[in-house]
Amino acid sequence: MKYGIYGGAFDPMHLEHYELIKRAKEELSLDKIVVVPSGNAPHKSTMTSYADRVNMIKLTVDEDVLIDDVENTLSGLTNTARILPVLKEKYGDIVFIMGGDSFFDIEKWIKPEVVLSFPIAVVPRAGSRDALVEKAERYNSQGKNIKVLRYVGKDVSSTFARTKLYLRLPCDVVSPKCYEYAIQNRIYGKYYDMLDKLAAALTPKRFRHSLNVAVEAVKLNEQLKLDYDKVMTAAILHDASKYSTRPHPELPENLTKGPIAHAFIGAEEIQTDYGIRDEDIINAVRYHTTGRANMSDLEKLIYLADLLEEDRAFDGVEKLREIAHKDFNAGFVQAVEAQLKYLGEGEDVCPLTLECFEFYKNK
């Protein structure tokens, strides 16, 4: 029998994972697919337990897919070069299935020469197949056995799936059974208490906006690679004090009313109400409506995500999203400029916003 080996954190397994292995099985004429959830991989910091990840895999795939626990049973750190020989001895005729992005970086893997000694099937993403074929041919000319599949993988990530599950939002990239299991068992419940408290303080529309900002912030953070927890916390709480009536004695006189005040009040209230102590998160909340000169990347991220979340429908928002998702900093500057044009030149324009634009327009 011929087996396809497909490994990963699967935190959680999403439907594109399953589609990929079904297509690989068909294209490579495999008898079985063996899914290998990661254990103590040196480059992974998996928060979800091994047992829960395996349960979610079982709720996604059919019975003809095998799940091998080799990475959970071996002691010490595991890696592909260590695992493949063990699986070769166990299953015999194997093909290692990997994503195109990983194949591009295979020289950086631990003992890549060991991995490359096995037959490999590479799954390309849109626009990458020709480059992958060229690289595969170079290795094949050296006696390797690498095939680039015809199937082109869709751009779906476990990070995106986790974000939806963290926020208890509908998530069509995981199976319904997997979604139900994750929600009922609070597998991704890290922010649930925060969300429940926030929902009680906001209108349903404003609460949905906060969730949307978190999703948009995670998307934009693919470019910045900031700490995920800081991004989620700042995004979720950025409007926590939208309807607060508490006085703020340090608030400048021209900021005591209107849409700006809640940000400055919120920066204080998230410390007392939610126990936030991280200054970067606090400042991201404080300046998410005004901006300021010399902002941190997290501050800019929350400012931009707040403006571009999916329910925003002002003129030009689609173009701004397109720019920001390609070039974060260019999108940020254009967003500040668009905000100034919307506000005009009246007394209501916050000096911080003017300073922000002057600081960044030539950068």
Structural domains of the chain ordered from first start: 2-158 (3.40.50.620), 191-360 (1.10.3210.10)
Radius of gyration of the chain (CA): 24
Per-residue pLDDT reduced to its tens digit, 156-198: 999 999 999 999 999 999 999 999 999 999 999 999 999 999 9
* CA of residue 10 relative to chain centroid, distance: 14
pLDDT at 260: 82
Mean pLDDT of 248-275: 78
Lowest mean pLDDT among 71-75, 83-87, 159-163: 71-75
Q: Is the pLDDT of residue 248 over 80?
A: no
Nearest to 343 by CA among 332, 322, 357, 330: 357
Crossing angle for the helix pair 261-274 and 228-237, to the nearest 10 degrees: 120
Number of residues assigned to the chain? 363
Per-residue pLDDT reduced to its tens digit, 347-357: 567 888 889 99
Q: What is the mean pLDDT of the chain?
A: 93
Q: Is the pLDDT of residue 13 over 90?
A: yes
Q: Give dist(CA 287, CA 294) in Å, integer.
A: 11
Task: Write down the pTM of the prediction.
Answer: 0.91
Q: Is the pLDDT of residue 40 over 80?
A: no
3-state SS of the chain is: CEEEEEEECCCCCCHHHHHHHHHHHHHCCCCEEEEEECCCCCCCCCCCCHHHHHHHHHCCCCCCEEECCHHHHCCCCCCHHHHHHHHHHHHCEEEEEEEHHHHHCHHHCCCHHHHCCCCEEEECECCCHHHHHHHHHHHHCCCCCEEECCCCECCCCHHHHHHHHHCCCCCCCCCHHHHHHHHHCCCCCCCHHHHHHHHHHCCHHHHHHHHHHHHHHHHHHHHHCCCHHHHHHHHHHCCCCCCCCCCCCCCCHHHCCHHHHHHHHHHHHHHHHHCCCCHHHHHHHHCCCCCCCCCCHHHHHHHHHHHHCCCCCCCCHHHHHHHHHHCHHHHHHHHHHHHHHHHCCCCCCCHHHHHHHHHHCCC
* CA of residue 241 relative to chain centroid, distance: 26
Q: Give dist(CA 263, CA 337) in Å, integer.
A: 20
Nearest to 77 by CA among 34, 26, 111, 54: 111
Per-residue pLDDT reduced to its tens digit, 290-302: 999 999 999 999 9
Q: Give dist(CA 78, CA 71) in Å, integer.
A: 6
Mean pLDDT of 53-65: 95
pLDDT at 252: 58
Question: 93 and 109 in contact (C-beta within 8 Å)?
Answer: no
pLDDT at 250: 62
